[in-house]
Structure 1
Amino acid sequence: MLRPIPAAIGLRYLRAKRRNGFISFISLASILGIAIGVTVLITTLAVMSGFQKEIRDRMLGMVAHATISADGDTLSNWQRAVDVAREDARVAGAAPYVDTQALLRGRRNEPAAVRAIVPEDEAQVSDLATSMVIGKLEDLQPGTFNIVLGRELALWLGVGVGDSVIVTTDFQVTPMGAVPQLKRFTVSGIFEAGYQDFDRRLAVVNLSDAQRLLRIGDGVTGVRLKLHDMDRAQQVTRDLVHRLGGVYRVSDWSIENANMFRALKLEKTMIGILLSLIIVMGSFNLVASQVSLVTDKQADIAILRTLGLTPGGVMQVFMVQGTMIGVIGTILGITGGLLLTFNLEHILRAIEGAFGVVLMPEDVYYVTGLPIDLQVSDVVMIASVALLMAFLATIYPALRAARTAPAEALRYE
């Protein structure tokens, strides 16, 4: 197969035996440095993406994809909002809710968010029913004043199913002064969402019981929505508000948890940048090996110049040779990264069994296995960065080779 002369010579240099073994060693170190950097980056970003996905899925299992609430304190015509939402093909479910902050008193006191729901409708917008570990969500019947607690919240309060919890919500002005609103609830169930903000800070009651406790009549805080495509939450809520008419407040999962998702994204970005330094080190080794190769091939460069090869052709020779080192390192790194990523959990289990340690305790990470989410875009980005760094590393040695004077190089040959 015909190839351009510079490319053919560059590939020949790549597989030729070197007179100087040190140059071969540096070239091998360059390949290994790039390969290790790519492998570590692929595996690390896959694990971080897996944790992000796990956190997002658990969070969205308990919160709505979007909410519609009144511009004032309560939403009075919520039945119409639910009906309009359910008519939209993009909406998977809609349910009213009431949110308030309260102080819960069992054997100990603990502040918590109290969410009031309609148990029959809750399955349409959250996974609360499937998160129950003790009791059933259907036990929250109107007038029973039952309450469902997160597992950690129940532990902090020191209560279990059948025990009583005093819920203090707000102060009411009476002729005798400000009197706190108190109500005794009976613990009918305990849930575990696997996300500390809910397991430690959330209590759930029936909607009508909360309306009586808060004295808000038939009003609710708003309507929670679950969508078929949660990434279209902003567009769907705006369309629904436009159809409802009037002034409403809309929000979605990305806005309510914006700070946390920004922090996770920043953490992934910063770790990616820091681990990219491994690839940079491999690129520096590539510069050193190419400079040494140019010095070693001074006579060859001079002969090529006398045979008519232009300075640009000389540059191409060493750029092809250096770029191929980067390509080999990147391919090895991608292969190693994929193998390590897909077998990482087995490796961790082997390490735990060999040394008798627990690397990922469930009570700390809230996961039973190592979450992995290998994204093609991350692999493509890492490969592109590695190839770009390898290409840039060849420019200086190639320029130095192109500036070689044939007469000077052949003077002592």
Structure 2
Amino acid sequence: MADVQAGLRRISYQWKAPEASIPYTTGVSLHSHTNQSRETLDFLAKLGSEYRLLRPVMAAVERRSRERHQIPVNYETSYWTPPLTPRLAFDLESIQIVKLGLMPLVSLTDHDNIQAPMLLRTVAAARHIPVSVEWSVPFGDDQSFHLGIHNLPSETGAAWMKVFEEFTAQPSEARLTEILAALDALPNVLIVFNHPMWDLYMIGEAKHKQRLDAFMARNGRFMHALELNGLRGWEENRAVKRMAQRMDMLLISGGDRHGLEPNANINLSNATSFTDFVHEVRYEGRSHVLFMPQYAEPWKHRLLASTLDSIRDYADFPQGSQRWDERVFHPDADGNMRPASELWPKGKAPVYLQAVIEAVRLLGAKPLNRSLRMAWSESHELSFALGEETA
């Protein structure tokens, strides 16, 4: 049985096994984001409370905004959007897979909305894209888990989004189980627990484990796979792998791309459609995760690159999304969400904020960037990888 399972569940690394994709016809990109995704900024408030050095700086910024401009800083409702449009994101993921000689299947999962796949379905090249979403699920009053809900029925996708929205507004553990059971009852839907070991709200390792155990005890039977996340580090993914082994669950890829680097892992498959792929995972228990060469780069260096992508200006992008501050949104004095670029008193970001942005951008300059890459080297991780190659 173990040998059979090993044949169905695999993890490969392209820098170690460039031939891994040869027996397959299809590459599947799961979990990546577009400019339709609203990425919360409430982590800034948590950083301010966690790190003493940041508190006076953030307090000064908040006081300045409140006293000079009558706009209280609202971390909870403000957000930023990734730079790529749905079409650019779809093409980026597809091209990486085509270069492997495989047919691409791409499932974009923005936070709590399905606008990207619905927009792409009007484009001939992407009309078969699955209707998918990354659902942010409040759990236990102090934590949130992210679930990849892939391949919703297109005719009921909007209705499902309403269900998710209503749950988020009024969470209930019993109601959550009802919703997940209903999703699981849809034979062509794939439910993936994204980055389960990530303590999103920084509640502490012990408490996060309690919440995770409680969630899985109640809802684990509805999770079709656990995600090996392409934007999380080696050690966290090893912990996810141990969790999967302990619970006898399938592992699956999920790149979690927010910037211009394509997903750092994909699934290898012989499916001819996304629904076929869902059936491979759910009913045949098949999953071959391929980590791409970018995952071998130092994790901190990749996070820096993703951050730089989010604060760059893109002159050739559509009007209204070219500058970084056109992609950051905050309530105005009347509570209406507006781009930060429209809120600056003099039409541009304050000098101190411009200085911070330029300082971060400086980290991307070649000499310094190369030095950081060397300092953050994880070459020792590459030989160890995630352990055994069976998933």
Same fold (TM over 0.5): no
TM-score, normalised by the number of residues in structure 1:
0.23
Higher helix share: 1
Largest Rg, 1 or 2: 1
TM-score scaled by structure 2? 0.24
